[in-house]
Structure 1
Amino acid sequence: MPVSPQAYRPETAILTLGPAFYDPVEAANFPQTILRFRNDRAAAEVGLDGLDDAEWIAHFGRFTPLAGTLPQPLALRYHGHQFRSYNPDIGDGRGFTFAQMRDDRGRLIDLGTKGSGQTPYSRFGDGRLTLKGGVREILATEMLEALNVPTSRTLSLIETGEALERGDEPSPTRGAVLVRQSHSHVRIGTFQRLAYERDEEAMRRLVRYVLTNLYGEDGDDPVRLLTLVVERTATLASRYMAAGFVHGVLNSDNINVTGESFDYGPWRFAPTWDPQFTAAYFDHAGLYAFARQPEAIHWDVMQLAASLRLIAESDPLIAALQGFAERYQVAIREALLWRLGVRPRGETEDRTLVQTLERTLRATDAGIDRVFFDAFGGPLPDHYDDAWNDLRAALRGYIPRKPRTHPYWHREAPCSMLIDEVEAIWAPIDAADDWSALNAKIAAIRVMGEALA
């Protein structure tokens, strides 16, 4: 058990929702459990950093229950729009909620899995995760955390000794099971299922659960809940844009009602400010392209509003939903100024700066990471030519939010996470079981995070 008993605060809040929200399941019995990654920084926030490796593997590879929390894994039930088509036949198909606890800020945290075996919602899937998919999720969550995006954390990755067949990577490929540390796994799709089934009592219970346990508020007011979700998801959309991140699959079952990003499949970071850049090879229409992400998230929140009509009047829900655009405009200014490393000056000046920044990035086709790295704290270096004069002028008068004294700013190039880098990290793991590139990248990302924080 944890050696941090004062920090470990187990919870079972999800059980108050009742069995209509989940199905008890069993984890797969894997041939092997080889520990590949443990996130002690995240584990310390919930009192689990004191587990030795054998205990870690027992809990996060064999899923021995953690003391005081859920006695059995729970596969959550939900529906969702997938590329705008409604699907009532989904739910946790290769994962489950394994435990709940409070973190060092008092937030309710779920430990959820990916690749832990089949559930009633697996359909024709094997319920497994490829090792490469797990490595990619580590990289996504570490990079997003450093770039100030609300995100789940990859707590653990354990190789399972299985050979998996996949159509989108060379097969057979190695299997793994991942544990995610997240501020809830309640999705917009969780509400959609109850609306689909016309279950008013369960809908009120879910609203109360989210307000009480995830937002720390009393009551069961669906309009208040929608208002909070609008604020959080608009902020999430703005942080995606400032990070240059493309999630790839912003379906309504992939939008957490706390506004915390999770479930990373075909994600990518855009090399340049290209509005049409997509992450998923199957997103032929560009529905979830880089610049369309705020629209996509807003559309998903509209589905939450539609679901809440089961227990609320339309007019106040519509009024709450209309706050998304205004909140996004404020949030994108905050997010881009944060990444530029400057303090706000005022709405007019800040709006001008953001518009100039986006216009210049598009016109010059410059690397996103490079520009933010060079511009951090205000002035642009002299090697930026006349095409950057408008941005240089817009930055004039801004005060740095912190000095460029951290060693990170003495690097020749910024820390980035483009697709070629991801493949270069995976290649030695695949060929020679060499994890040094991954470990070095995680360390570099965390150094960047310290410099930006």
Structure 2
Amino acid sequence: MTFTPESAFALLGPDFADAVDPADFPDLKLRWWNKRWAREIGLGELTPEQIADHFGRFDRPKGYPHTPLAMRYHGHQFRHYNPQIGDGRGFLYAQMRDPKGRLLDFGTKGSGQTPWSRTGDGRLTLKGAVREILAAEMLEALGVYSSKAFCVFDTGDQLARHDEPSPARGAVLTRLQHSHVRFGTFQRHAYEEAPDRIEALIDHAIAHYYPDLSGLQGTEKTARFLEKVCAASARLAAQWMAAGFVHGVLNTDNLNVTGESFDYGPWRFLPTYKPGFTAAYFDENRLYAYARQPEAVFWALQQLAIALLPVGEKDQLVDVLNTFPDIYTREMTAAFCARLGVAVQDNSEDMVKAYLAFLLASQLPFEAVFFDHFTNDPGRIKAAARDYTGPEYTAFAELFADHTPVRPERLGHACFARENPVHMTIETMESAFAPIHERDDWSTLHGLLDDIAQARADYDLGRGRTGFLPEQGETW
């Protein structure tokens, strides 16, 4: 694979982003380099100094003509509209093509102030960067369509933070994902009464993410674009639920047009199945609690539809939105079956409901129950030292026994020799960062990342694809 630079977003013009300069960091130390994805996109041969040039000092890649761009957007933050936001501590550094020719973004976090920083310093703590790495790696292992933590540098900065012990060590992160075009990107241009810009954004998204819609015109184009985003977002919400993941901040500026999970701030994974479990300490009303995430995504889609009205037709857009519940139910059923390692069949939706009822009643570790039941091996389930009894379990087990295992040979892989699965509860994350904070010891983190990589390979929930955007019509 040869690195192929691209500059698609910059061609939209100055109304969509602001050229910015990266911060000048006092001391760069490479802490994370995603070797696997670097190889995939043609950057596997970079030297340490070249990595520092491109992802620490943000010198432009060879052949890339544009400076970093702080993207402009608005958004509903906890359902309150905010017209004062945009890329405040990151920018679109560069774009390229993935192995299948699809557009990819390098986006940053902690790279310095921009016109949208407001009172912020534009920086990221080292702990925040480690959290991004762990969330992205764990989600990918569990079959979620996620951005990738591509590179992290310790910057030598000392940062003041109210939610971490200060001074906190600084870091700069580069993430790799297919799109940073958010729902809030459309909202900004609707707010500014600029239908021509909304149309340009739709055309940009169709050209680079949904080319099968090319040739459509007028309100039909708008409706079919929303249909694509609606289906992708329903799939993402379902994947989060099957992973036991709580994003924490599902504002309209944190959801994008490809239905890709990104921007990991106050995330959590469920320790046990608790529908009201929240990730953000400031989410006092539990707006983005685990079980409310599909509702939050649907509400955000409604705001996107409102932003599309200047170039759309209301009844068409409403009809598209009305498809979300059925798509979500179908995708959730598929996602839970994938996590259990069984094929979807006619009674799978009932099986998933029974599974959740058992998880709620038993309060067994969320990840462990999936691990024990993967590919429906009765001997393995029986041997697990957990309390698989009671009426709720009986109801689930009867339905589950009827399901056909998918690739049961995966149980012979290394990660299934463990007594317990790798998981990412808050305690796991904190225990990985503590040695870094206390004595700059990264061995615990790297050991955990090795375990996650093993689980990703052994579960193989992406079915061995090289690209991380599902093909048209493909499910996880």
**TM-score class normalised by the smaller sequence:** over 0.9
Structure 1 moving runs of 4+ over 6 Å:
none
In structure 2, what is the equivalent of residue 424 of structure 1?
A: 431
Of the three residues 349, 352, 371, the one matched with 2:350 is 352
In structure 1, what is the equivalent of residue 252 of structure 2?
A: 252
Aligned partners of 2:305 and 2:33: how far apart in 1?
38
- Structure 1, residues 288-345: CA drift from partner, whole Å, max 9, x if none? 0000000000100101100000111100000011111110010000000000011122
Q: Which amino acid aligns with 1:96?
A: F
In structure 2, what is the equivalent of residue 333 of structure 1?
A: 333
Deviation at 1:47, TM superposition (A): 0.9
Q: Which runs of 5+ in 1 are unaligned?
A: 1-5
Aligned residue runs from structure 1 range 11-410, under 5 A: 11-217=6-212, 218-219=214-215, 221-346=221-346, 349-379=347-377, 381-382=381-382, 384-387=388-391, 388-403=393-408, 404-410=411-417
- SS in structure 2 at match of 1:202: helix
In structure 2, what is the equivalent of residue 434 of structure 1?
A: 441
Aligned partners of 1:391 and 1:407: how far apart in 2?
28
Deviation at 1:216, TM superposition (A): 2.2
Deviation at 1:379, TM superposition (A): 4.2
Contact (CA 8 Å) 1:379, 1:395: kept in 2 or not? no
Contact (CA 8 Å) 2:235, 2:328: kept in 1 or not? yes
Aligned partners of 1:363 and 1:59: how far apart in 2?
51
In structure 2, what is the equivalent of residue 414 of structure 1?
A: 421
Deviation at 1:367, TM superposition (A): 1.0
Contact (CA 8 Å) 1:415, 1:448: kept in 2 or not? yes
Q: Which runs of 5+ in 2 are unaligned?
A: 461-476
Deviation at 1:397, TM superposition (A): 2.2
Deviation at 1:363, TM superposition (A): 1.2
Q: Which amino acid aligns with 1:357?
A: Y
Contact (CA 8 Å) 2:7, 2:66: kept in 1 or not? no
Equivalent pairs counted in the alignment come to: 446
Contact (CA 8 Å) 2:10, 2:66: kept in 1 or not? no
What TM-score, normalized to structure 2? 0.92
CA RMSD after TM alignment: 1.0
Q: Which amino acid aligns with 1:447?
A: Q
Contact (CA 8 Å) 1:70, 1:98: kept in 2 or not? no
- SS in structure 1 at match of 2:278: coil
Q: Which amino acid aligns with 1:385?
A: T
Aligned partners of 1:63 and 1:377: how far apart in 2?
45
- SS in structure 1 at match of 2:46: coil
Contact (CA 8 Å) 2:29, 2:154: kept in 1 or not? yes
- SS in structure 2 at match of 1:13: coil
Distance 1:398 1:227, change over 3 A: same
Q: Percent of aligned positions with the same letter in both sequences?
A: 49
Deviation at 1:20, TM superposition (A): 0.5
Contact (CA 8 Å) 1:378, 1:395: kept in 2 or not? yes
Deviation at 1:45, TM superposition (A): 2.1
- Structure 1, residues 201-240: CA drift from partner, whole Å, max 9, x if none? 1111110000111222314511111000000000000000
